[in-house]
Amino acid sequence: MSDRPLLLEIITALEEQGLDRDEYQLQRVIDVEALERLVDSMGPQTDTDLEIRFSIGEFRVIVTPSDVGTKSKLSRHSGG
């Protein structure tokens, strides 16, 4: 993950899918500060695989200690 705050990583991932900021209210779906603390507590050197998923509109957001990604809920196969 980059050095940018997790909130910006999530917003960027959603915007890359064409979702405008006025189409969702992230704070109603997830506590981004708590999510960031959880991800930061894992660190890249831990042996535990952490993956947190939540939905925003038609997309699933997938957060890991190393990446933030999105995929359409309609997608039946994994990837991107």
Domain of 62 in residue numbering reads as 6-72
Instruction: Judge whether residue 77 has pLDDT over 70.
Output: no
32 Cβ contact partners less than 8 Å away, ≥ 6 residues apart:
6, 7, 10, 26
CB atoms within 10 A of CB 62: 16
Within a domain: 80: no
The total number of structural domains that make up the chain: 1
For 24-67, what is each residue's pLDDT tens digit? 888 889 999 999 999 888 766 666 788 999 999 889 999 988 89
Owner of token pair 């999510």? 35
Average pLDDT value for residue range 13-22: 90
Confirm whether pTM is higher than 0.95: no
CA distance 10 to 76: 22
Within a domain: 13: yes
Q: Which residue has the higher pLDDT, 12 or 1?
A: 12
Within a domain: 38: yes
Instruction: Judge whether residue 3 has pLDDT over 80.
Output: no
